[in-house]
Chain A
Amino acid sequence: MNVETIAYILGGLTIGSALMVILNTHPIRSILYLILTFFMISANYVLMNAQFLAIVNIIVYAGAIMVLFLFVLMMLNLSKDNEPRSTIMMKAAAVIAGGSLLTVFVASLKKAIVSKSIAINLNNNQGMVEVLGKELFSTYILPFEISSVLFIAAIVGAVVLAKREKNIL
């Protein structure tokens, strides 16, 4: 089995599990399929020589963000019965709109790259933590520090919002 076949199978599995996320009516199953999608995307990263990013993707998305989603969903105590439904008209309109968006994107991006990949002859190790770390702490040091400010703002915002107040609304 060559690497091309593996890539096609992985792509099919990624799209399949992403479809299950939006088609499943049970919210918890939907979240579990989203975690599966993230694992599939990580496998795609490994295939593209981005090993460090694959691990970070699993740790941050499947490990932290999705656990947060699952925790909130279980705390809210929802079930299939009180799942809000949209009308069939709405669904048809959404699928038509999404299909048109897909057509436009694929048609415009299909022939976007004319130059051949220059990474083939290179020693392809730009996905390693050493290269990424050097780049992150030299060229991108300012955005890195600003993102920490964003995180502080998010933490403060979450604490302020989640604090119970009696006379709200």
Chain B
Amino acid sequence: MVLASIFESLSIQYYIVLSTILFVIGVIGVLIRKNAIILLMCIELMLNAVNLMLVAFSSYFGKADGQLFVFFIMVVAAAEATVGLSILVLIYRNTRSIDLGIFNKLKG
């Protein structure tokens, strides 16, 4: 079923502000949490905020290109989550902690 365009009654600015707020929540989450898993989740949240804005513009201009970019962002997000989590498991195995302060040891 195809609905009528939402932008008949709503301006694009609403979605710009919404996705910007989501992105900033992700940024603040990266800065205030010390848990490495939460950090990866906040990165996913930021990627989703970008996806939301891409879909909004795609729908606004009536072109499919923005939605295809979202597909590629999802591919990158899935690859990033896989590798990031396996690095995290490896760090936990060696140090028994996922505190981000542990990464100080990388300085040598």
Contact = CB atoms under 8 A, between A and B. Distances in A.
B6 A98 contact: no
B6 A7 contact: yes
> Helix, strand, loop or mixed for chain A's interface?
helix
Contacts of B4: 124
A15 to B, nearest CB: 6
B98 A22 contact: no
A161 B101 CA distance: 21
Interface in A112-169: 112-113, 117-120, 122-128, 131-132, 135-136, 139-140, 143, 147, 150-151, 153-155, 157-158, 161-162, 164, 168-169
B45 A7 contact: no
A106 B7 CA distance: 19
Nearest to B94: A169
> Helix, strand, loop or mixed for chain B's interface?
helix
A168 B94 contact: yes
A154 B79 contact: yes
Interface in A57-114: 57, 60-61, 64-65, 68-69, 72-73, 75-76, 78, 82-86, 90-91, 93-95, 97-99, 101-102, 105-106, 109-110, 112-113
A118 B23 contact: no
A140 B20 contact: no
Contacts of A78: 35, 98
A44 B52 contact: yes
Interface of A: 2-4, 7-8, 11, 14-15, 18-19, 21-22, 27, 30-31, 34, 37-38, 41, 44-45, 47-50, 52-53, 56-57, 60-61, 64-65, 68-69, 72-73, 75-76, 78, 82-86, 90-91, 93-95, 97-99, 101-102, 105-106, 109-110, 112-113, 117-120, 122-128, 131-132, 135-136, 139-140, 143, 147, 150-151, 153-155, 157-158, 161-162, 164, 168-169
A61 B48 CA distance: 10
A143 B70 CA distance: 12
Interface residues of B, number: 80
Contacts of B70: 53
A86 B81 CA distance: 24
B56 to A, nearest CB: 6
A7 B10 contact: yes
Given A21-B25, A76-B37, A90-B31, 4 more contacts: A48-B15, A95-B32, A119-B62, A150-B79
Given A125-B2, A150-B75, A162-B89, A11 B31 contact: no
B31 A97 contact: yes
Contacts of A95: 28, 32
